[in-house]
Amino acid sequence: MATKQAEINFEDMSLDELEQWKKQREEEDLKFKQAQSKKIADSKKEAFDELGKVVDKYRLNVSDILNSLLNARKIDFGDIAKVKPIYLIKAKVNKQKRNAPEGEMEESEFLFFEGKTILADKKQAEQVCSNGVDEFKKVLTDAGKQYLESEETKHIILDFYNEHKPAKANEWK
């Protein structure tokens, strides 16, 4: 608990005492900021844990949450625009060069995140899976590797591979 300090008379202090007082004050400020940051981090963790329980209990999805926050004016579309996807797969692939004759290819980067619908880039997705499971694991991002390790999210990686693997390749389970 904080204690009340006696009023300090700076006019009676020497330069050394003023410097010492300033140094102590800076150390106290640092301790305060560290304690405040820890409290905020703990509060955020508790809030996210509680949010997770509410999401599970009421079977909410992200659009429900975002729409509620937008309607309540707690966030605006600018906040949503700042959200970046968590890429699970990042691989170099060859794709048809735009506005070029059929068969003229260029190197490109294939990025996959949870929820992405594979339409125009189906051939690139197939390239990513064409060399088997071991090579596929090499193009997983750190987030993708974490997804693979978690029983809750592992199916996302497996489903992607199994959907885009070569026809004769064994299914990854």
- pLDDT tens for 100-139 read 788 888 888 888 888 777 777 788 888 888 888 888 999 9
**Domain boundaries, position 32:** 21-79
71/92 same-domain check: no
Tokens 């797969």 appear where?
89
Q: Are 93 and 124 in contact (CB under 8 A)?
A: yes
Task: State how many domains the chain has.
Answer: 2
91/63 same-domain check: no
The answer to the question of residue 130 being in a domain is yes
Tokens 């009676």 appear where?
12
What residue ranges of the chain have pLDDT lower than 70? 1-5
CA distance 140 to 147: 9
The answer to the question of residue 67 being in a domain is yes
The answer to the question of residue 56 being in a domain is yes
The answer to the question of residue 13 being in a domain is no
Angle at 98 between CA 92 and CA 100, to 5 degrees: 115
The answer to the question of residue 45 being in a domain is yes
Tell which of 59, 79, 99 closes a domain.
79
Please indicate, yes or no, whether the overall pTM of this predicted structure exceeds 0.75.
Answer: no
